[in-house]
Structure 1
C-alpha cells in the first residue's frame, strides 16, 4: 500500500540550510521509496500572508523550485507543483472554513503570538493581524486534505497545524456524514527537525540568522559559518556539544562516525575557528554538487516552468474529482439530472481500448491522420502530406517511439510534436499552461500504450 507524503515550503525567501535539512532533504529521500506517493509544492499562497514584496515572492518561487530539483527530486516520480496552480485548494479552503470553529483558530500559535506581542506594548490585540494570518491553518489543512495525504513532514513548531487539519477534517466528515478525508499525521525526523541558526535560535528568515544553501557560492557559505555564535572558551579548553549550534548543524550532515569524531575533537579542546572550518568543509562536500545543478537550472527557467505545469496537471487530476464530490456533499449540485452510471463491464471494456490512428484525405487531396486516446479524445492532427506513403511512415514511427522519446512542446496556445526538428503534428488549443501540460501527459501516455501494443 502506498503512503502519500506531502510537504511544501513558503516562497518568501532564499532557501537556507534549515529548509534543506528540515523539509527538502527528508522529503526527497522519502520520494525515492517505491511505497511513497510524494507530493511537494511551493506554498506561494502562504507567502502572501507573510510578504507583500511581489519581487521577493517571484524570485523565491524560482529559487525554491531549482533547489528541490538540484537536491535530487525526480518530477517523474513525485508530484511537484505550485500551490497557486491548483484552484481546488482555495475552493476547498472555503468549504473547510465553513465548518471550522473560530475557537480552534484562536488557539493557533502564530495568531496567539501576534496577539501577545500587541498586548505587551499595550496595543489593540488584533493590531496588524490580517485575516490571512488568522486563516493560515485552514489553508494548510486544504493543502493537505485536497490530496488526502497520509503523512506531512514538518518541524516541531508545525505539529499543531497538522493536529488542526485533523480536527477540521473530522468536523467536515461528521457534518456531512462520510469519510471524505483521511487523517494526516505529522512526520518528524527527530535529529534534524529544527536546525539552529547563527545565534542559536531556530534557523529562520524572520530572525535573520540563516545560513545560505546555494546563493553566494562556497565563499558566502564559509563566511556565514564563521559568524556562528559560540561561547568564550579558548583553544585547548573542552567545548560543550549539548548547547553548541555548530555541533548540531554538523550532526545534521555527518555520518555517525564523523559525528563522534567531531564531538571528541570539541571535548578535546579544538578551537572554535578550526571547528567552523571543519563544519564548512563537511557541508561543502555535500552542497557543492547540488549547487552546480542549481546554477544550471536557474539558467533555464522555462524548463522549470514546464516541470511545474506538468506537476500541476497531475495534482489537479486528483484534487478535481475530490472537489466535485465535496460540492455534491455540501449541496452545490448541478440542476441537471445525473447520468445513469455505465455498467462495470462496459467501463472496463472502454478502458481496455488502445489509442488509435484514423487516416483521411483533405479536400485539397493531401493526406493526414489523427491520433485518438482510448477514451476518444483527439490528441494530435498531423501536418498534411502529398504522398500517402510519407503519412503512413510517420504513423508507423509514432506507433513505436514511445512516450519518453517523443519531442512534444508548447507553442502559443497548443502543443506540437516534432520529429527530426520539424513539426509533424499539432494538438488542440488549450486555455492555460496547466491544461496544455495535462495534454502533453495524455499524449505521452498514449504513445507509450501504442509502443507497448507493438511489443506485445
Structure 2
C-alpha cells in the first residue's frame, strides 16, 4: 500500500510543520510511502522565483535531515514532463462546477491581503494538479486534514470517471486522517496557527532559527495575567500553546508536563530548551546538506528518477486510452 504526502514551500519550515508532520513521517513512514515538495502548488499565489527555488531546496534538505528515506522523497517540479500532460487529461475530465466548489479556492480568492492582484487561474485548477500528483504515483491513501479532504475526493471522482469512460488506468485513492498532531499556535497570538508564510515572524519558531533566536521568541511569547499553571486551552491559550509544544517535544501530554513548574518563566525556559534540542540535529544536518549542493542535487535526482519511473507506465496507459498516444 502506498501513501503519498506533500508539503508546500510557501515559507520556511516552522516547528509546527516539523512536529505535526515531518517528524511523524520520519518515525512512522513505511518503505512504500512517498513524500514530495509541492513547489508547483506554491505558484498559485504571488511568489518570488528565487525564494521559491531556495525554499524548495531547503525543504528537501529538511526532509532528508529529519530521517526520511531519501529515495522516498522527490520534488514535484522534477515530474513536470509527466504532470503536465496528465493534468491536462484530468482537466478535460473535470467539470467546471466540480472545480468551482473547492472551498480553498473560494477562501483564497476572497483573501484581500493581496489587494489589486488578480486571482490566478492556477489557484482555480490546482486541485486537478493535486489529483495528478496522487494518481500518477498510484497512491492508495493520502493522509490529509479537513482542508484538503475535498481535493482528495476530487481525485477519486476523476479517477473513477476516467476508468469508467476510457478504461482502467488509475488506482482510486482514499483520504485518511493522520494521527492527531500538536496544535501549534503563533507565540505572539495564540488565536492563529503558526504559519510559515506569516508576514510577522515574531511568534513563529522556524526550524533553521539560531538557538538564541528561538530562545528570544519563546521568552516573548504572549501568555496571560492569571498566573495559574494549568492546561486550559480555552481560558489560557498562550500557556496551553507552550505546554503543547513542550509536550510534543518530550512525547508527553500537555497536562503531564505542566506539573513541577512554579512560574510562566520556568515554562518558557523549558520550552525554549526543548525546542532547541529537538531542532538542533535537524538544523545541523540541513545546513550540511545545503552547504554541499552536489550531494543535495544527487539525492534530488535519485528521488526524482524513482518517482518518474513509478509514473511512466501509468502515464503511457492514460495517454493511449485517452486517444492521444
TM-score, reference length from structure 2: 0.88
Aligned 8 A contact 1:12 1:56 in 2: no
| Distance in 2 of aligned mates of 1:164 and 1:272 | 46
Alignment root-mean-square deviation, CA? 2.5
How far is 1:102 from its partner? 1.4
List alignment gaps of at least 5 residues for structure 2.
Answer: none
Q: Return the alpha-carbon distance in structure 1 between the equivalents of residues 53 and 69 of structure 2.
A: 23
Q: Distance in 2 between matches of 1:296 and 1:117?
A: 38
Name the CA shift for 1:159/1:180 in 2 (closer, same or farther; >3 Å): closer
1:274 matched residue in structure 2: 266
Count of aligned pairs: 315
CA displacement 1:29-70 (0-9 Å, x = unmatched): 233x3xx41211111111222343012111101211111111
Q: Flag the 1:187–1:223 CA change in 2: closer, same or farther, 3 A.
A: same
Counterpart in the other structure of 1:253:
249
Asked if the contact 2:37/2:76 (under 8 Å) is kept, the reply is: yes
Partner residue in 2 for 1:341? none
Structure with greater proportional strand content? 1
1:110 pairs with 2:104:
yes
For the Cα contact (< 8 Å) 1:213–1:287, is it kept in 2? no
Equivalent residue runs for 1:3-152 within 5 Å: 3-31=1-29, 33=30, 36-75=31-70, 78-86=71-79, 87-117=81-111, 128-152=118-142
Kept in 2, the 8 Å contact 1:40–1:80? The answer is yes
Aligned to 2:186: 197
Most deviating of 66-75 and 43-52? 43-52
Match of 1:233 in 2: 226
Distance 1:206 1:295 in 2: 21
Query: Which structure has the larger Rg over C-alpha atoms?
Result: 1
Q: Deviation of residue 321 (structure 1)?
A: 0.8
SS in 2 for 1:136: helix
Distance in 2 separating the partners of 1:183 and 1:161: 11
User: Which of residues 198, 207, 211 in structure 2 aligns to 1:207?
Assistant: 198
Equivalence map 1:152-231=2 (5 Å):
152-178=142-168, 180-192=170-182, 194-198=183-187, 199-200=189-190, 201-208=192-199, 211-231=204-224
Distance 1:262 1:72 in 2: 26
2 CA distance for matches of 1:91 and 1:25? 33
Residues 3-12 or 240-249, more deviating? 240-249
Aligned to 2:257: 262
Q: Secondary structure at the match of 1:205?
A: coil
Within 2, Cα distance between the matches of 1:272 and 1:17? 20
Give the match for residue 373 of structure 1: none
Q: Bigger relative contact order, structure 1 or 2, given CA contacts below 8 A and separation 6+?
A: 2
Superposition TM-score, scaled by structure 1 size: 0.64
Structure 1 residue 95: Cα displacement? 0.9
Distance 2:231 2:108 in 1: 35
Deviating more after overlay: 196-205 vs 141-150: 196-205
2:18/2:207 contact within 8 Å kept: no
Question: Which stretch of the first structure deviates more once superposed, 166-175 or 81-90?
Answer: 166-175
Aligned 8 A contact 1:141 1:164 in 2: yes
Does the aligned pair in 1 maintain the 2:231–2:243 contact within 8 Å? Answer: no
- Distance in 1 separating the partners of 2:19 and 2:135: 25
Higher normalized helix content (fraction of residues): 2
